[in-house]
Structure 1
Amino acid sequence: MAYLAPSEFVTKMVDAGEAKIFMSTRDTLIRAFMAGAILALAAAFAVTINVQTGQPLAGAILFPVGFCILYLLGFDLLTGVMTLCPLALIDKRPGVTLRGVLRNWWLVFVGNFAGAFTVALMMAVIFTFGFETAPGKVGEAIGHIGESRTLGYASHGAGGMLTLFLRGVLCNWMVSTGVVGAMMSTTVSGKVIAMWMPIMLFFYMGFEHSVVNMFLFPSGLMLGGNFSLYDYLIWNEIPTVLGNLVGGVAFVGLALYSTHLRTAPKRVA
């Protein structure tokens, strides 16, 4: 595994953020759509494993395959650009503006949602044979995930909202660590290993990922989950996006940038 020093891969993070900000609208949407779709398939894969084996760890161990595929293909998740793009602004790269960062985030959000929703619709059709039969065990499980992770939080009021937000923070702390991990190595095997570990951790711990939820919750609504679109948006998606933003920017992007690229002066002996 060819390993890059922290100062080298943090520079790559800033370069990547700058490149994504200046990417064309067409390419940004295509890459975001494909990322959302592939991650949604990985989520369906992991839930299927959990249901069939009864072992959540098995699903968590295998879920990162989707993240590795989409990253190696050069596709973009909202959680990743949340971490990378602000670094180009902080580094004062020429032409980078706050408007450009927000434009990228919005386009990636739209693309991720479109991709995840497309797979959600396809899987709902598969689970119900074209909405003609009741969903099987996997479809029922997805519906119950939607209930527990919306109404379950709502039942605890402010404490539930805080828990949801913090799960979003911790999620993107790990997911963005996976994004950075891929930049630590110049070999495919090294990238995969570095990505696999934090992604497995976030999934097994039940942290909240905004793009995974773009698949799970629309799927749950289509498969008869006992929650509403309002519940999904207010008691999951919006707080999760905000938590993902804080986790990626504060605990990954700024932390690495400040200590490896803009280091403080050395102490005098």
Structure 2
Amino acid sequence: MNNFFSPAEICENMVNGCNNKAKLPISKMLVLGIFAGVFIGFGAYGFTVITSGAGTGFEATFAKYIGAGVFPVGLMLVVICGAELFTGNNLMTLSLFKKEITVGAMLRNWGVVWMANLIGSVLLAWLMSQSGLYGEAMTAKAIGIAEAKCAIPLMPVIIRAIFCNMLVCLAVWMQSGAKDIIGKIFAIWFPIMLFVLSGFEHSVANMFFIPMGIFCGADVTWAQAFLNNILPVTLGNIIGGAVIIPACYHFTYAKKSAA
């Protein structure tokens, strides 16, 4: 007996899960969305801790590798403990393509969860800024991350966001194929580690990284945070996670072929 599902079975599992997400009451979306923002923020904080003391060259690369290996704990918490993450929920288009949910139900989920993710991420960032955990090196790292993210030109930031959510949604897809916790952990770990190591852009992670930098004194305004990064990254994440991955897998595993 296999301890994993086939790709066609994964597709069916994902559709059922997305159908359930569309039915969630707004109150539960808010609570679980705030939790997801906090969970992803925990992973981002861990990444900052590990990379803040690194120098240059190989040392910096190795620290980024270790930090990228810690970051996936955020999505592990979201998937295994239960939370609502905007980028993962982009896969709800699978159910839309099968006409099992409406556009309105999907957009309702996306809108509420995106705002809840933002609330959780910014709240965690503010609390961390008041915690005394950000010493000189951590503060400098937080400022550097925020300023660098807001300086990325529009087209590159959208491209990086597309690739990011392709990997995030593939991680969510793969963990749905595992029948045990260990399988889910490994399915999540490697794609998420890869996107962080590659320098791709994740809207919810940036909802923590950039506000954290602002609270630490970064030369970034809130308008720049949203217009230069968070909103275009959200768009790129939707292209990667709500269009490319679901469209391909719906065509290959969910759509019935003509006789």
Q: Distance in 2 between matches of 1:248 and 1:240?
A: 12
| 1:52 positional shift | 3.1
Indicate which of 210, 213, 216 corresponds to 2:203: 210
- Structure 1 stretches of at least 4 aligned residues deviating more than 3 Å after TM superposition: 263-266
What amino acid sits opposite 2:242 in the alignment? V
Give unmatched runs, 5+ long, in structure 1. Answer: 130-134, 154-159
Residue in 2 that maps onto 1:156: none
Q: Distance in 1 between matches of 2:256 and 2:48?
A: 43
| 1:251 positional shift | 2.5
Indicate which of 183, 187, 190 corresponds to 1:190: 183
Does 2:242 match 1:249? yes
Question: Equivalent residues in 2 for 1:84-123 (5 A)?
Answer: 85-93=92-100, 96-123=101-128
Q: TM-score, normalised by structure 1?
A: 0.89
Deviations 1:15-64 (CA, angstroms, capped at 9, x unpaired): 11111011111111111110110110110111111123541111001211
| 1:265 positional shift | 5.2
Q: Distance in 1 between matches of 2:146 and 2:27?
A: 32
| 1:125 positional shift | 0.8
Q: TM-score, normalised by structure 2?
A: 0.93
Residue in 1 that maps onto 2:57: none
Q: Distance in 1 between matches of 2:136 and 2:249?
A: 45
What amino acid sits opposite 1:39 in the alignment? I
Deviations 1:177-236 (CA, angstroms, capped at 9, x unpaired): 111111011111111111111000001111110000000111111110011112111110
| 1:264 positional shift | 4.0
Is the Cα–Cα contact under 8 Å of residues 127 and 139 in structure 1 kept in the other structure?
no
What amino acid sits opposite 2:112 in the alignment? L
Q: Distance in 1 between matches of 2:229 and 2:79?
A: 25
Is the Cα–Cα contact under 8 Å of residues 97 and 250 in structure 2 kept in the other structure?
no
Is the Cα–Cα contact under 8 Å of residues 127 and 136 in structure 1 kept in the other structure?
no
| 1:163 positional shift | 0.2
Residue in 2 that maps onto 1:72: 80
Distance 1:194 1:263, change over 3 A: farther
Indicate which of 64, 68, 79 corresponds to 1:56: 64
Give unmatched runs, 5+ long, in structure 2. Answer: 55-59
Q: Distance in 2 between matches of 1:229 and 1:263?
A: 47
Q: Report sequence identity in percent.
A: 27
Indicate the SS of the match to 1:73: helix
Residue in 2 that maps onto 1:9: 10
Indicate which of 225, 239, 257 corresponds to 2:232: 239
Question: Equivalent residues in 2 for 1:125-204 (5 A)?
Answer: 125-127=130-132, 135-150=135-150, 152-153=151-152, 160-204=153-197
> Is the deviation greater in 208-217 or in 118-127?
118-127
What amino acid sits opposite 1:203 in the alignment? V
Residue in 2 that maps onto 1:132: none
Indicate the SS of the match to 1:149: helix
Considering only aligned residues, what root-mean-square deviation do their CA atoms show, in Å?
Answer: 1.6
| 1:263 positional shift | 5.3
Residue in 2 that maps onto 1:262: 255
- How many residue pairs end up in the alignment? 251
Is the Cα–Cα contact under 8 Å of residues 28 and 108 in structure 1 kept in the other structure?
yes
Is the Cα–Cα contact under 8 Å of residues 128 and 136 in structure 1 kept in the other structure?
no
